[in-house]
Amino acid sequence: MRTTTAYIKKSNLIYNINRIKDLVNHSEILAVVKANAYGHGLIEISKILRANGIKFLGVAFANEGVMLRESGDTQSILVLIPAFPDEAQYFCKYNLQASISSEDFLIALSNESKNNNVISKVHLNIDTGMNRDGLIANDAINFMKEFGKLPNIEFIGICTHFATSANNIDFAKKQLAIFNNTIKNLEEEGFYFKYKHASNTGAIANLPEAHFNLVRPGLALYGYPSSAEIREILKVKPILSLKSEVILTRRIEAGESVGYDRLFVAKKPTTIATIPIGYGDGYFKTLTGRAQCIIKGKRYNIVGSICMDELMVDCGNDNVKPGDEVVLIGEQDSEQILADEIAAWAGTIPYEVTTALSTRVSRVYID
């Protein structure tokens, strides 16, 4: 078996759940587990969330909800991304809740629900400035008047999504004002919703007035808020570490090169360690010439072109040997590398770092 493994610390996840609960007071949590729980493992993470009082899970697509149902999950699951009409059958068969952005899918869901004698629960999605999905706010009343009482449909929620809650509070407050006004206008017309939700991770930290009675934390659950300021407010802990082992070492002389295209040429004699992880595992090739790892509590530069299955490390004259643990994400002794740092090296965001970890990397859940 491969030594390259992602270790998921369950106690840190539970800590993060409780930390978010403390911040949002009496609001319920809709835990977002899309994209394989941001790379941490959809089924196992969801089981831990359920065991710790999370009644709502959020996924991106119906197939993710189906996977949860087939794993034995029986509680509320909301599909966040607008679905196509021909997917309505899955929402009925697997009791999935839908985020509504158009009449086409809603009509198809009503027809399918009627044919199967079920009531489908849905959330009205309001676009307040993200311009990605959702109904235009000014169209909400007419939409509900025309489609709000379709047979076998129950509107239990209304939601929106913030574009800048982590870094531009003024714009987020404008979105919130539009959302509040839309809710007020709908209620004046007799349309009420049990659940109101808008807060992603940034809004949980920065906009307590947007917590309503349901919040939607994403990467914060996994310990990676979108900025240092939000991390300071939330005080959550990363739950994932990525580790491997040295498989080979060799001495090379000055002038010798390492890897494809000779991107690293030794200026003096040094020891090169080979590690069995590469871009086939989700460790980006764009980290070539930028990244570091930790071996025996010390940082070393990753050198040469990162390969599909392997990468190489310049260990100088240190006594590094096959079998030594290598930390790509996480801590060892007093050193630590977080996904934030890898994201900065690669010119991306922590979300992409964790979601990129491929199925070749085993997930092991530890207490």
Rounded to 5 degrees, φ, ψ at 351 are -55, -45
Residue whose tokens read 């831990």: 48
Q: What is the pLDDT of residue 226?
A: 75
- Whether 194 is catalytic is no
Q: What is the pLDDT of residue 20?
A: 97
- Whether 145 is catalytic is no
Which of 55, 149, 235, 260 is labelled catalytic? 260
Q: What is the pLDDT of residue 225?
A: 84
Q: What is the pLDDT of residue 229?
A: 84
Q: What is the pLDDT of residue 152?
A: 98
SS3 73: coil
Q: Is the separation of the CB atoms in 171 and 202 below 8 Å?
A: no
Delineate the domains of the chain, giving CATH numbers in brackets: 10-221+229-234 (3.20.20.10), 240-366 (2.40.37.10)
Residue whose C-alpha is closest to residue 324's, from 341, 252, 267, 333: 333
Q: What is the pLDDT of residue 73?
A: 98
Q: What is the pLDDT of residue 2?
A: 86
The amino acid occupying position 63 is N
Q: What is the pLDDT of residue 154?
A: 98
Which of 9, 34, 121, 196 is labelled catalytic? 34
Residue count (the chain): 367
324-336 exposure pattern, b = at least 16 Cβ within 10 A, e = fewer? bebbbbbebeebe
The amino acid occupying position 27 is S
Q: Which two tokens stand for residue 168?
A: 């531009």
State the Cα–Cα distance between residues 336 and 299, nearest whole angstrom: 9
Q: What is the pLDDT of residue 1?
A: 74
State the Cα–Cα distance between residues 42 and 51, nearest whole angstrom: 14
Q: What is the pLDDT of residue 163?
A: 96
Global confidence as pTM: 0.95
Q: What is the pLDDT of residue 135?
A: 98
* pLDDT < 50: residue spans in the chain: none
